[in-house]
A and B are shown apart, each in its own frame.
Chain A
């Protein structure tokens, strides 16, 4: 079963000085208010974050729902914007492998994969014994997921008190926080090149294809950064 010691250690990691709690809270507060404004009720807002837990995807869902897009269009739009979760999973789960751990933990806990939890895990995994990294990860994921759900509910409840200017102010918190965290993770030339090239190529590819720009920009930048690393070895 789950090692409670490592689970709690992961759960408590959101209390650190570089915790994503504030950024996550602000972002999902805004999502909760947005969902109420577009006609979701309390339970629907709660379950949206409970089952999806991916901010850009939920934004796409809300916007698509507003314009009356078909379910297929919503599926494709959300899948495209959340496709980043695939390389994030591939670059993290090999670090959590342990022979004594059951597979269900990996397929259940992948639901917790988000930028915040991923960056914490990538920063801290070396400090955790290989056999218990999955339990530590489940702790991190449960904590960040709970913050997101709680903030969505709070945003739904206080939406009438949030002015338009405040909603705009909340929307910048997430990109600023994650940009700072990405800068903090640039510990070698390969990761540095990945972040810098991705930052430039994302908006550049938007001019070519707004729907595919994150994938095109991310994959192109990632491949170039990887080759930079290979030639520097």
Chain B
């Protein structure tokens, strides 16, 4: 096995362990938590807000391929797709499909 290949296996292992750690500790911690308690409601708020923080961070300060699209184009696409979502009686298929097409077209022609 080449050193690159064994490096990749180690990288996958480390990534998987780091991810499973948060998931399993969450299960362990939740064993002592009642769904009607205040601590449950607090974690519910933190879960929703952390997701929102992650998603807005991905749009405003992205990593990967999204960096190559201008921030105003990214925000315009999100705004238009959310508007479609609200107008189309909260149908998720239209904004999802539209977002990929819209961004691909806009970065090609703007």
Q: Which residues of A contact B (CB under 8 A)?
A: 17-19, 22-23, 26, 30, 34, 39-41, 44, 47-48, 51-54, 56-65, 71, 74-76, 78-79, 81-95, 97, 106-107, 110-111, 113, 115, 118, 164-185, 190-191, 193-203, 205-206, 210, 213-215, 217-219, 221-223, 225-226, 229-230
Contact = CB atoms under 8 A, between A and B. Distances in A.
A226 B26 CA distance: 19
B47 A90 contact: yes
13 contacts: A22-B96, A39-B8, A51-B12, A76-B18, A89-B25, A90-B33, A90-B47, A92-B47, A171-B62, A173-B99, A173-B100, A202-B55, A219-B46
Dominant SS among interface residues on chain B: helix
B52 A52 contact: no
A97 B14 CA distance: 30
Contacts of A115: 51
A203 B17 CA distance: 27
Given A81-B54, A94-B35, A202-B57, 14 more contacts: A44-B8, A65-B11, A115-B51, A118-B47, A172-B59, A177-B99, A179-B82, A180-B82, A182-B51, A191-B44, A198-B49, A219-B49, A222-B47, A226-B45
B19 interface: yes
B80 to A, nearest CB: 9
A75 B17 contact: yes
B54 A84 contact: yes
A198 B14 CA distance: 29
Given A63-B64, A90-B26, A173-B96, A52 B16 contact: yes
B55 A175 contact: yes
A17 B92 contact: yes
Contacts of A226: 41-42, 45-46
Interface of B: 4-5, 8-27, 29-31, 33-35, 38, 40-66, 68-69, 74, 77-78, 81-82, 85-86, 90-93, 95-97, 99-101, 103-104, 107-108
A76 to B, nearest CB: 8
Contacts, number: 326
Nearest to A169: B104
A175 B59 contact: yes
A59 B46 CA distance: 23
Contact of A107 (B27, B69, B100, B101): B27
Contact of A110 (B11, B24, B104): B24
A198 B11 contact: no
Contacts of B69: 168, 172
B63 A179 contact: no
A30 B65 contact: yes
A166 to B, nearest CB: 6
Contacts of B96: 22-23, 26, 173, 176-177, 180
Contact of A222 (B30, B46, B68, B86): B46
